[in-house]
């Protein structure tokens, strides 16, 4: 990127931050952000390779939106930024959350045939169509090391055990009616996703 392009991206980041500040003021000290501005900022930091700035933003996000689970592409960007800042323990945790938010995303990123799981796709970000136009690829220079690391994480026993349990619970949820058993399955699924 040229200096002019970098300056333009930095200006966008400031514009988005100001919009979030205005949103908080408008809603009386609470963030509402119905436009989802908070989700598009990490992409801007990635564009200019400012991973430390991206991490500062994500720490701010975590503090100001503690119950926001994000969505799969945002979680992917968060994982990547953590990796680039050499915070590998948190990056691995976020990689797990990314996978469980959309099981197709890493296959798309790594250029693999998507794994078709027999699962419930009712959550908002679970659909394969979400990743059809996914912008990041293992072929992109900044992502080469990250792709190799991601593949290694996805092949660990810890991850595979979680993925198998996740898949089994998702399969069971397809036909499980509302009630105690379904609630128990959903709680187990949540522990895998966020635990």
Q: Which long-range CB contacts under 8 A does 147-150 form with residues at least 24 apart? A: 147/109, 147/110, 149/83, 149/88, 149/91, 150/79, 150/95, 150/106, 150/109, 150/110
What is the reported pLDDT for 127?
A: 55
Segments making up each domain of the chain, as ranges: 1-68, 95-195
Report DSSP state, residue 176: P
Asked whether residue 18 carries a pLDDT value surpassing 70, the answer given is: yes
Mean pLDDT of 117-134: 59
Distance of CA 82 to the CA centre of its chain: 12
- C-alpha–C-alpha distance, residues 143 and 132, integer Å: 18
pLDDT single digits (tens) 62-99: 999 988 888 899 999 999 999 999 999 999 999 999 99
Q: Are 141 and 46 in contact (CB under 8 A)?
A: no
pLDDT single digits (tens) 147-192: 999 999 999 999 999 988 988 888 888 888 999 999 999 999 888 8
First to last CA, the chain: 39
């Amino acid at each position: 990127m040229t200096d002019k392009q970098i300056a333009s991206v930095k200006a966008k980041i400031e514009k988005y931050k100001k919009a979030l500040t205005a949103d908080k003021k408008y809603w009386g000290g609470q963030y509402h952000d119905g436009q989802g501005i908070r989700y598009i900022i990490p992409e801007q930091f990635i564009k200019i390779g400012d991973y430390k700035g991206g991490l500062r933003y994500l720490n701010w996000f975590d503090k100001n939106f503690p119950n926001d689970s994000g969505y799969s592409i945002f979680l992917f960007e968060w994982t990547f930024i953590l990796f680039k800042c050499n915070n590998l323990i948190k990056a691995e945790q976020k990689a797990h959350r990314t996978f469980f938010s959309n099981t197709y995303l890493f296959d798309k990123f790594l250029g693999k045939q998507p794994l078709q799981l027999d699962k419930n796709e009712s959550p908002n970000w679970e659909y394969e169509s979400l990743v059809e136009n996914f912008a990041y690829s293992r072929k992109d220079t900044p992502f080469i090391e990250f792709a190799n690391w991601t593949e290694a994480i996805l092949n660990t026993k810890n991850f595979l055990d979680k993925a198998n349990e996740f898949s089994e619970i998702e399969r069971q949820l397809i036909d499980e009616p509302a009630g105690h058993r379904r609630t128990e399955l959903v709680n187990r699924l949540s522990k895998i996703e966020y635990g």
